[in-house]
Amino acid sequence: MQQYIARKGDTVHRIAARHGLTPEHVIQGNPWAGKQPYLYPGQVLYLPSAPRKRYVVQEGDDALSISAWFGVGVGELEKLNPGVNWAYGCSPGKVLVIPEAAPQTVVFLRGEYGPADMEEDIGKLLIRYPFLHAESIGTSILGKPLHLLRIGSGPRHLHVNASLHANEWLTSPCLMSFVEQYAAAYAAGEDWNGHNPGAWYNNWTLWAVPMANPDGVELVQEGGWPGHPYYDELRTWNCGRRSFRHWKANIRGVDLGDQFPAHWEEERNRRAVSGPGPRDYSGRAPLSEPEAAALAQLAEKVPGDAAVSLHSQGGEIYWNYRGYEPPESKALATLLAAASGYRAVELNGSDAGYKDWFIQRFRRPGFTVELGSGKNPLPLADFEDMALETGLVLAAILSNFK
């Protein structure tokens, strides 16, 4: 057992990932950690040694085939198993210690995916793919940059955002993962799941805001502690609950999904939420919150041919808004549904969302995509499937939109 002192930003999942453990290993050594919503900075945890993966050599195996099977280098295998390249070192029945495979991508989950993880990944992506562009379109209430990634040089423009709702943060690495896969395939001159990223690049410019609500995401993942600028207000708005896992709003308790000037007053009256809280408070006016205002300003500056707002969960695609949508929206939604395995749904009785505003303002196709299925925040194990489904939806637009 080794002793570990928790620091700000630590969670069970993040500590486990950092030490080559599973969350269950951490909780097994510290049962109390599974019963409180967050780790307090300064808490002492006892971590077991990272268990090593092992493999019994089979007939016909050699060091090269074993390395390929587990996604590790032969040199790394040799370090833990001296002589494995020799015949006797890889004989059937011999037990080998398998090193941890290094991540093959920049974007991966090392626990919950928060603002700091995204900033680190953006920096690495910019180095690896110089044709990617990054900038900030504004700042959150607490001064965090609202990052924008841009790829492509085409005359058509696709706007995509994620994590408008704080506890839907798993949509952020999904969008980041697609940007990376697109960039990697384009750089290598390869197809992406049967699509041609070279054609995407020449025909489209993709404007991606991977985390539109960074303050809220951080609150959901790490909690609100004494010293937080909104500590007293958050405790009141959250009705005294210590956990913020259910929190959808920004740090001022405004639901960014109800902030856009598309029949905003009707949505406010329908919700009937009079003040800040975890969800459904529309704010004092449309676009009163800097995060929502920044998204609207970006779309006004560069009017899009289409827009997608990534949410979770439900496996559905909403495509209409009060008849403002153009004629091609329904057929395109059917195409996106076929590509992703989701359902195209005609939604009524909802206003003031980003998709609603985009359709009404520009009369262009806009979509809300509800990724995954379950209860928010969705489990980290769903990331791989959700990231692929994100890519399939966006690829269908980039490849087929006329």
Separation between Cα atoms, residue 112 and residue 380, nearest integer Å: 8
- Distance CA(80)–CA(204), nearest Å, equals 48
For 129-133, the CB contacts below 8 A with 24+ separation are: 129/183, 129/184, 129/187, 131/183, 131/186, 131/187, 132/179, 132/183
Q: For the chain, report the end-to-end CA distance as a whole number of angstroms.
A: 60
d(CA 41, CA 208): 34
370 as an active site residue: the answer is: yes
d(CA 36, CA 30): 11
Whether the CB-CB separation of 21 and 30 falls below 8 Å is answered with no
Beta bridge partners of 53: 98
3-state secondary structure the chain: CEEEECCCCCCHHHHHHHCCCCHHHHHHHCHHHHCCCCCCCCCEEEECCCCCEEEECCCCCCHHHHHHHHCCCHHHHHHHCCCCCCCHHHCCCCEEEECCCCCCCCCCCCCCCCHHHHHHHHHHHHHHCCCCEEEEEEECCCCCEEEEEEECCCCEEEEEEECCCHHHCCHHHHHHHHHHHHHHHHHHCCCECCECHHHHHHHEEEEEECCCCHHHHHHHHHCCCCCCCCHHHHHHHCCCCCCCCCCCCCCCCCCHHHCCCCCHHHHHHHHCCCCCCCCCCCCCCCCCCHHHHHHHHHHHHCCCCEEEEEEECCCEEECCCCCCCCCHHHHHHHHHHHHHCCEEECCCCCCCCHHHHHHHHHCCCEEEEEECCCCCCCCHHHHHHHHHHHHHHHHHHHHHCC
Which residue in the list 112, 222, 370, 389 is annotated as catalytic? 370
Positions marked active-site: 370
